[in-house]
Amino acid sequence: MALIIRRRAAFAVVEIVARYESEQPGLGLEFMSCFEAACAAIEREPFASAPHYREFRRRNLRRFPYTLHYLVAGENIIVSLIFHASRDPAELYSRLEDDGP
């Protein structure tokens, strides 16, 4: 299966890395490492997480309060969104609705 990261998710990761790096040097790189580990885990076992909203599944990042939201579509795993755990779930569902299958 191929892992595809949607543009807005990739941009969000870049912004998060920059913010953490400005707060504490090295923290942005730690975040990126956790993001890459979560992506690798999704690639290894894409069905390990049960669907939580429609067909979207989620994976928590280790050490950081973010979740990756993804779809398994045929031979592709599509990372649609990275979302901070303290944000309003209504915003999450609205964003996922825009990316629905």
CATH (domain of 83): 3.30.2310.20
pLDDT at 100: 55
Q: Compute CA 78 distance to the chain's CA centroid, rounded to the nearest angstrom.
A: 10
pTM: 0.88
Residue 85 CA to its chain's centroid (Å): 11
* Cα angle, residue 91 at apex, residues 76 and 38 outer, rounded to 5°: 40
Please give the average pLDDT of every successive group of 10 residues along the chain, which has 101 residues.
93 97 97 97 96 92 95 94 83 66 51
DSSP 8-state assignment for residue 1: -
Number of domains in the chain: 1
DSSP type of residue 6: -
Domain range enclosing 36: 2-99
Cα 82 from Cα 79, distance rounded (Å): 8
